[in-house]
């Protein structure tokens, strides 16, 4: 009999650099949240953070100081996105199928909104930003497929996870007004375009390598 996330909760694998410190922080926050705060509200808060991130990048056309709004948005996004599932598990009120579907659906829209907005800012080309989104979504697809066929939900790759990605994007955002969006090396790309292309290449490579490895493992198992 085949299993799905609705029938079996996949084993969470999280080996990113900040995983232990982040878990201690989340475990400290959960019991201190007011009782009226719910996981669904935190999911909505995380998405609101993504909207703030996008707004900051778009408004940076007017003034670079608006990028501070994006930095605040990343913090709000982390708080909501990291705590919704953590709070449900802490209170033992998990709804695995509903939570799995809602959380990752909202995350997908939020990711597209945030990274797409970077491409709509003065610092990065939109097509380049979409390449980074495609790489991220490909790796996400592998994660969701592996959760079904292997029973493992991997939250990190190469010692990096969502929190490290947010910190990287925050560092890039701080650098934006300092470096600017001008073209470099005689190309039609800014420094941030080149950075995003490298990240996109790494994500696509990880997707290919991980997919081949999983397919080979399943073939050997004869399943």
- Give the mean pLDDT of the chain: 91
For the chain, give the percent of residues with pLDDT over 70: 96
Q: Which residues pair with 13 in a beta bridge?
A: 154
In the three-class reduction of DSSP (H, G, I as helix; E, B as strand; rest coil), residue 143 is classed as helix
Q: Under a CB-based contact definition with an 8 Å cutoff, are residues 114 and 54 in contact?
A: yes
Q: What angle do CA 155, 157, 163 make, to 5 degrees?
A: 60
pLDDT of 94 higher than 50: yes
pLDDT at residue number 200: 95
pLDDT at residue number 20: 87
Q: Could you give the C-alpha distances from 126 to 17, 120, 133, 173, 182, in angstroms and in order?
A: 30, 6, 10, 16, 15
pLDDT of 171 higher than 90: yes
Indicate if the alpha-carbon torsion angle 28, 30, 36, 38 is positive or negative.
Answer: positive
State the fold for domain 11-221: 1.20.120
Res. 187 pLDDT band, cuts 50 70 90: confident
pLDDT at residue number 126: 96
Which residues, 6 or more positions from 14, have their beta carbon under 8 angstroms from its beta carbon?
154, 155, 156, 161
Q: Could you give the C-alpha distances from 115 to 80, 162, 213, in angstroms and in order?
A: 18, 13, 28
Q: What is the mean pLDDT of residues 66-81?
A: 97
At 11-41, the pLDDT tens digits run 877 778 888 899 999 999 999 999 999 999 9
pLDDT at residue number 2: 35
Q: What is the pTM of this model?
A: 0.90
Q: Could you give the C-alpha distances from 92 to 58, 87, 100, in angstroms and in order?
A: 40, 8, 15
pLDDT at residue number 158: 77
pLDDT: is 13 or 103 the higher one? 103
pLDDT at residue number 3: 37
Q: What is the mean pLDDT of residues 143-152?
A: 87
């Amino acid at each position: 009999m085949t299993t799905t996330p609705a029938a079996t909760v996949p084993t969470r694998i999280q080996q990113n650099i900040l995983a232990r410190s982040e878990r201690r922080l989340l475990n400290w926050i959960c019991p201190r949240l007011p009782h009226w705060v719910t996981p669904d509200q935190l999911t909505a808060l995380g998405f609101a953070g993504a909207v703030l991130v996008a707004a900051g990048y778009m408004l940076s056309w007017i003034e670079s100081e608006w990028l501070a709004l994006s930095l605040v948005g990343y913090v709000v996004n982390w708080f909501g996105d990291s705590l919704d599932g953590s709070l449900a598990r802490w209170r033992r009120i998990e709804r695995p199928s509903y939570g799995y579907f809602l959380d990752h659906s909202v995350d997908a829209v939020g990711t597209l909104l945030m990274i797409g907005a970077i491409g709509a800012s003065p610092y990065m080309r939109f097509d380049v930003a979409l390449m980074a989104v495609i790489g991220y979504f490909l790796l996400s697809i592998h994660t969701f497929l592996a959760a079904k066929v292997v029973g493992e939900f991997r939250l990190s790759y190469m010692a990096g996870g969502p929190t490290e990605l947010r910190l990287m994007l925050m560092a890039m955002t701080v650098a934006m007004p300092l470096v600017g969006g001008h073209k470099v090396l005689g190309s039609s790309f800014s420094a941030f375009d080149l950075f995003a292309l490298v990240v996109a290449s790494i994500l696509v490579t990880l997707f290919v390598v991980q997919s081949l490895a999983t397919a080979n493992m399943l073939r050997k198992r004869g399943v």
